[in-house]
Structure 1
Amino acid sequence: MTFGEQPAYLRVAGDLRRKIVDGSLPPHTRLPSQARIREEYGVSDTVALEARKVLMAEGLVEGRSGSGTYVREQPVPRRVHRSAYRSAGSSTPFRQEQAEAGARGTWDSSSERVEAPEEIAERLGIAPGDRVMRTRYVFRDAGEPMMLSTSWEPLSVTGRTPVMLPEEGPLGGCGVVDRMAAIDLVVDNVVEEVGARPGLADELHALGGVPGHVVLVIGRTYFASGRAVETADVVIPADRYRLAYHLPVR
């Protein structure tokens, strides 16, 4: 193989990928068998197998037990809107984003008191093991799971207050800014860091994704006068959604 030349399995995978993208192999069509790939491209069984593995890892095909490997129907990516916070009474950021997209979202949540892991403690500026309220969410758009979120709030801030439980009490379901204002904390800054990684098995199961698929992770932290009052990890399937940021120019 000369410098710059692709390995045989990547060349075969690339040609099959092109056929999937241009519709020559439409969704739900059975992928050519390993023997057929070997014959058509003049390659070994090993090369044919590795090419199929590439397409599987890219989420272009899926295996069906006892039936074979088929071309997956690819979703059309939709936008998840992120914008500067605008106070809206009882509106959460998710409700704001859904309203901007003209969508109707629902969610499930559960909260529990836990000890802060080291990474979360660092983000909140507290000691590892300090008590926090952890709340896990599954957000849905038209019934389809679209986003997961896990938030942590220091109980040294919210403990024994009406806003200790984010989804219960007089301000249940309100956004962090409004909830903190109710206990005389003015949120004046929010930091978001966006990254990507392979989805964890439980995340992909909850989101209806394929093992090996990439997810976008937004690490978000709210601050009040330099003190972190909430931090969260938001997980979004990268093949189905794009982040769209709307930021004001000051």
Structure 2
Amino acid sequence: MSQDSSPPPYLRVAEQLRQRIQSGDLAPGDLLPSLSEIREETGYSGTVGQRAYAVLVDEGLVVARPGRGHFVRSQEERPLLVRRPRVAPGSGSPTAALLDAQGVRASWDSESTTARADLRIAERLGIAAGDPVMHTSYVYRADGEPVQLAESWEPMAVTGGTLVVLPEAGPYAGIGVAERMALIGIEVGVPVERVVARGASRPEAALLGTTPAAPVLAVERTHYDPATGRAVETADIVLLGSRWAAEYGTRPEPAAPSDSPDAAADRG
């Protein structure tokens, strides 16, 4: 008795979509059929469509955009961006200033909510687990393409009741941690950063438009008040590895030529 050796339905759907992408029928950036459209066209369940898209996402052909659908992923390389931990005062959003300086149009989405610090965040901030914090989530884009994620936590004991309590709202929205803290009398120093390389989680990959386990740089950043030693902000930053290089330190300015007696005599 022979067994059916044909591939399962989700692989057949994936192959149909793959052929349309590779033939150019679906171009980079095109919106792919929704799960309901796949169900109507093929008669298969929505689960089959979900598994088919999971295959194409893992292959790097398709990008899942939460709340928007699935899109054909561009295969062309994007220019490498350079991240530096500080920018000049008065530049506004540090990430936006870095991108703008590299000729890239910056944009971002953010959402702030009050929360309770879990044990991990409490240890980084030097507060008790359960203490109130302001939690802000970010998705940063370069020319419309997502390149960086961030999760930030600030103790409400530091910013609560001030005009800078909401990082992305109010009269001082979007100017960055250092400048916001300066407005309430805290001159933060250079942040402490711990950087590791790892693979993107599936939720991170979906937000960044890449494949799960794609290389990312993960940064644990904490700003401190040098006067008291207390932490005033900590953040988890995820940088798309194919788009970013990190650069630390500041190159010294060339020394001005000295006006020696010999040089003056030569000029005479």
TM-score normalized by the length of structure 1: 0.68
| Whole-angstrom CA distance in 2 between matches of 1:147 and 1:242 | 9
Q: Give every structure 1 segment of 4 or more consecutive aligned residues whose post-TM-superposition deviation is greater than 4 Å.
A: 59-63
The question of whether the paired residues in 2 share the 8 Å contact of 1:28 and 1:73 is answered with no
**Match in the other structure for 2:107:** 106
The question of whether the paired residues in 2 share the 8 Å contact of 1:188 and 1:224 is answered with yes
1:209 and 1:182, CA in 2 relative to 1: closer, same or farther beyond 3 A?
same
The question of whether the paired residues in 2 share the 8 Å contact of 1:189 and 1:224 is answered with no
Instruction: Output one character per residue of 1:137-183: Cα deviation in whole Å (capped at 9) or x when no partner.
Output: 01111111111111000001001111110011110111111111111
Mean CA deviation greater in 92-101 or 107-116: 92-101
**Match in the other structure for 1:169:** 170
The question of whether the paired residues in 2 share the 8 Å contact of 1:84 and 1:247 is answered with no
Q: More strand by proportion, 1 or 2? A: 1
**SS in structure 2 of the partner of residue 189 of structure 1:** coil
The question of whether the paired residues in 1 share the 8 Å contact of 2:87 and 2:98 is answered with no
| Whole-angstrom CA distance in 1 between matches of 2:234 and 2:81 | 23
**Match in the other structure for 2:231:** 228
**SS in structure 1 of the partner of residue 168 of structure 2:** coil
**SS in structure 2 of the partner of residue 178 of structure 1:** helix
1:188 and 1:198, CA in 2 relative to 1: closer, same or farther beyond 3 A?
same
**SS in structure 1 of the partner of residue 191 of structure 2:** strand
| Whole-angstrom CA distance in 1 between matches of 2:95 and 2:215 | 22
1:170 and 1:76, CA in 2 relative to 1: closer, same or farther beyond 3 A?
closer
1:117 and 1:74, CA in 2 relative to 1: closer, same or farther beyond 3 A?
farther
Aligned pairs for 1:238-249 within 5 A = 238=241, 240-248=242-250
**Match in the other structure for 2:206:** 205
**Match in the other structure for 2:149:** 148
**Match in the other structure for 1:87:** 89
Aligned length in residues: 192
TM-score normalized by the length of structure 2: 0.64
**Match in the other structure for 1:43:** none
Question: Which structure is larger by alpha-carbon Rg, 1 or 2?
Answer: 2
2:75 corresponds to 1:73: yes
Which ranges of structure 1 fall in alignment gaps of 5 or more residues? 1-26, 30-55, 64-71
1:132 and 1:243, CA in 2 relative to 1: closer, same or farther beyond 3 A?
same
1:61 and 1:102, CA in 2 relative to 1: closer, same or farther beyond 3 A?
closer
Tell me the percent identity.
Answer: 41
Instruction: Output one character per residue of 1:48-92: Cα deviation in whole Å (capped at 9) or x when no partner.
Output: xxxxxxxx9xx77659xxxxxxxx936345123214342125x12
The question of whether the paired residues in 1 share the 8 Å contact of 2:60 and 2:210 is answered with no
1:150 and 1:83, CA in 2 relative to 1: closer, same or farther beyond 3 A?
closer
1:61 and 1:83, CA in 2 relative to 1: closer, same or farther beyond 3 A?
closer
| Whole-angstrom CA distance in 1 between matches of 2:222 and 2:85 | 14
The question of whether the paired residues in 2 share the 8 Å contact of 1:84 and 1:246 is answered with no
**Match in the other structure for 2:190:** 189
Which ranges of structure 2 fall in alignment gaps of 5 or more residues? 1-20, 24-54, 63-73, 253-268
**SS in structure 1 of the partner of residue 151 of structure 2:** strand
